[in-house]
């Protein structure tokens, strides 16, 4: 039975569209937990385009499940994480001009830097996850430098244009998840997952946790957040 962690970034996106105080991602996190979510995720971006420092601080105080902070592996964020102490940090690549996280992290490009970041976070008891494309070389490097979790990037799978492409891209995720689990790391998956494309993951019991935001917040606008979270939990618990 897999777990669902709910990303509340896009509640903050709606707030920022007006530049006022609502809707509040912290309240959303509470509702998601009451609806049964196993964890709450937020991405404090360097440009603070949605989640703000205040949100992260309050989420740390309010979240009763597990708080996962997504962040770039840069000094400023490492210092904030060491101060706030989320249960888990997910290291993601970040480009200023991107609409959302576009690809997995390229750990292979600079393993020594990432190893140092892992060390600084582990010192504070924070678990470290790497957001990676389904690429065995990246996964093996992350394992070697101390990752505890690999979150497999499902964005390319979710954007497949045909059944054949869905099948091929899913196959890469299957192989990556198996390799990650064989290395003894926990496997998560996320990005672009929705109420339809998540169902294929029934074939992949290695995935322990799903990280889902946009599709849940989109449904919440129409049916309410509690209902939207419950609908996704019903799917994820069946995987
Ligand atoms: N996982 C990671 C690492 C992400 O950066 C995001 C997007 O913030 C998600 C999961 C959730 O993606 P989505 O909002 O498409 O569900």
| Sequential pLDDT tens for the chain (239 residues) | 899 999 999 999 999 999 999 999 999 999 999 999 999 999 999 999 999 999 999 999 999 999 999 999 999 999 999 999 999 999 999 876 677 667 899 999 999 999 999 999 999 999 999 999 999 999 999 999 999 999 999 999 999 999 999 999 999 999 999 999 999 999 999 999 999 999 999 999 999 999 999 999 999 999 999 999 999 999 999 99
**Ligand 1 in reach of 70 Cβ (< 6 A):** yes
What whole-number distance in Å separates Cα of residue 131 and Cα of residue 186?
12
Please say whether the dihedral angle defined by the alpha carbons of residues 172, 90, 98 and 51, taken in this order, is positive or negative: positive
10, 33, 50, 70: which one is catalytic? Answer: 70
What whole-number distance in Å separates Cα of residue 148 and Cα of residue 87?
12
Specify the pTM.
0.97
10, 43, 143, 156: which one is catalytic? Answer: 43
**Ligand 1 in reach of 43 Cβ (< 6 A):** yes
Q: Which superfamily does 3-236 belong to? A: Aldolase class I (3.20.20.70)
β-bridge mates for residue 42, sequence order: 69
Domain boundaries of the chain, sorted by first residue: 3-236
Atom of ligand 1 nearest to the CA of 191: 12
Average pLDDT, the chain: 96
Q: Find the distance separating the first CA and the last CA of the chain, reported in whole Å.
A: 6
Rounded (10°) CA dihedral 161, 163, 168, 174: 110
């Amino acid at each position: 039975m897999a777990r669902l962690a709910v990303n509340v970034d896009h509640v903050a996106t709606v707030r920022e569209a007006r530049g006022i105080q609502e809707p509040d991602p912290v309240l959303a996190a509470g509702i998601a937990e009451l609806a049964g979510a196993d964890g709450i995720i937020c991405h404090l971006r360097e440009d603070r385009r949605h989640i703000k420092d205040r949100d992260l601080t309050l989420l740390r105080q309010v979240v009763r499940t597990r708080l996962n902070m997504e962040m770039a592996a840069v000094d400023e964020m490492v210092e904030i994480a060491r101060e706030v102490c989320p249960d888990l940090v997910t290291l993601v690549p970040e480009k200023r001009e991107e609409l959302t996280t576009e690809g997995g992290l390229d750990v292979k490009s600079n393993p020594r830097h990432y190893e140092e970041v892992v060390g600084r976070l582990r010192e504070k008891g924070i678990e470290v996850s790497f957001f990676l494309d389904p690429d065995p070389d990246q996964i093996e490097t992350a394992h070697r430098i101390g990752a505890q979790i690999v979150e497999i990037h499902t964005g390319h799978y979710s954007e497949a244009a045909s059944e054949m492409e869905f099948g091929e891209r899913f196959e890469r995720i299957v192989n990556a998840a198996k390799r990650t689990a064989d290395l003894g790391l926990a496997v998560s998956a996320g990005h672009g997952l929705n109420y339809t494309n998540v169902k294929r993951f029934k074939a992949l019991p290695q995935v322990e946790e799903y990280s889902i935001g946009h599709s849940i917040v989109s449904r919440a606008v129409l049916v309410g957040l509690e209902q939207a979270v419950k609908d996704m939990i019903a799917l994820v618990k069946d995987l």
